[in-house]
Structure 1
Amino acid sequence: MSKVKTAYFCQNCGYESTKWVGKCPGCQQWNTFVEELVQKDNKKASPNDWASYIDKDTSKRTRHLNEVETKESPRILSSDAELNRVLGGGIVPGSIVLVAGEPGIGKSTLFLQMGLQLKGITTLYISGEESEQQIKMRADRLNMQNEHFYLLTETSTNIIFQEIKKLKPQLIIVDSIQTLESSFVESSPGSVSQIRECAAEFQQFAKETNTPVFLIGHITKEGAIAGPKLLEHMVDTVLQFEGDRHYAYRILRTLKNRFGSTAELGIYQMNDNGMNPVLNPSEILLTQKEESLGGIAIAATIEGQRPLLIEVQALVTQSVYGTPQRT
Structure 2
Amino acid sequence: MAKVKSAFVCTECGAEYRKWQGQCSSCQEWNTLTEVRLASARPGASAPAQGRSGYAGDLSRDVVDLSNVDLSEVPRLSSTFAEFDRVLGGGLVPGSAVLLGGNPGAGKSTLLLQTACKLAQQRRILYVTGEESLSQVAMRAHRLQLPTTGLKMLAETSVETILAVAEREKPEILVIDSIQTMHLEDISSAPGGVAQVRESSAALTRFAKQSNTVLLLVGHVTKDGTLAGPKVLEHMIDASLLLEGGADSRFRTLRGQKNRFGAVNELGVFAMLEQGMKEVKNPSAIFLSRQEEQAPGSLVMVVWEGTRPILVEVQALVDESALGNPRRVAVGVDQNRLAMLLAVLNRHGGLFTGDQDVFLNVVGGVKVLETSADLAVLLAVVSSLQNRALPKELVVFGEVGLSGEIRPVPSGQERISEAAKHGFLRAIVPRANAPKQAPKGMEVIPVDKLSDALEAL
> Does TM, normalized by the shorter one, top 0.5?
yes
CA drift of 1:240 comes to: 0.8
Q: What is the identity percentage for the equivalent residue pairs of Structure 1 and Structure 2?
A: 45
1:202 aligns with 2:207: no
CA distance in 1, matches of 2:44, 2:219: 29
Does the 8 A contact of 1:40 with 1:186 survive in 2?
Answer: no
TM-score of the aligned structures, taking structure 2 as reference length: 0.62
CA drift of 1:184 comes to: 2.7
Partner of 1:265: 267
Does the 8 A contact of 1:3 with 1:41 survive in 2?
Answer: no
Partner of 2:3: 3
1:33 aligns with 2:33: yes
CA distance in 2, matches of 1:222, 1:177: 19
CA distance in 1, matches of 2:124, 2:100: 21
Does the 8 A contact of 2:58 with 2:209 survive in 1?
Answer: no
Partner of 2:81: 80
How well do the aligned residues superpose, as a CA RMSD in angstroms?
2.8
Between stretches 128-137 and 25-34, larger displacement belongs to 25-34
Between stretches 222-231 and 79-88, larger displacement belongs to 222-231
**Greater gyration radius:** 2
CA distance in 2, matches of 1:205, 1:307: 39
- Per-residue Cα deviation, 1:203-262 (whole angstroms, up to 9, x for no partner): 111111111101110111222211111110111001011110121011100011111111
Of structures 1 and 2, the one scoring higher in RCO (CA 8 A, sep 6+) is: 1
Partner of 1:95: 96
CA drift of 1:74 comes to: 1.6
CA drift of 1:147 comes to: 2.4
CA drift of 1:200 comes to: 0.7
Does the 8 A contact of 2:11 with 2:231 survive in 1?
Answer: no
Does the 8 A contact of 1:265 with 1:306 survive in 2?
Answer: no
CA distance in 2, matches of 1:282, 1:117: 28
CA drift of 1:60 comes to: 8.3
1:17 aligns with 2:4: no
CA distance in 1, matches of 2:299, 2:44: 68
TM-score of the aligned structures, taking structure 1 as reference length: 0.85
SS at match of 1:63: coil
CA drift of 1:99 comes to: 1.0
CA drift of 1:300 comes to: 2.3
CA drift of 1:72 comes to: 4.6
Segments of structure 1 that go 5 or more residues without pairing to the other structure are 47-57, 315-322
Does the 8 A contact of 2:58 with 2:210 survive in 1?
Answer: no
Partner of 1:218: 220
CA distance in 2, matches of 1:17, 1:263: 35
CA drift of 1:73 comes to: 4.1
Task: Note closer, same or farther for the CA distance 1:35–1:324 as it changes in structure 2 (3 Å cut).
Answer: closer
Segments of structure 2 that go 5 or more residues without pairing to the other structure are 47-56, 317-384, 389-457
CA distance in 2, matches of 1:276, 1:149: 21
SS at match of 1:8: strand
CA drift of 1:146 comes to: 3.8
SS at match of 1:232: helix
CA distance in 1, matches of 2:220, 2:44: 31
CA distance in 2, matches of 1:301, 1:72: 30
Task: Note closer, same or farther for the CA distance 1:187–1:79 as it changes in structure 2 (3 Å cut).
Answer: same
Amino acid at match of 1:88: G
Partner of 2:419: none
SS at match of 2:180: helix
CA distance in 2, matches of 1:196, 1:109: 25
- Per-residue Cα deviation, 1:111-136 (whole angstroms, up to 9, x for no partner): 11111111301111111111001111
Q: How do 1:107-118 residues align onto structure 2 when only pairs under 5 Å count? A: 107-118=108-119
Partner of 1:152: 154
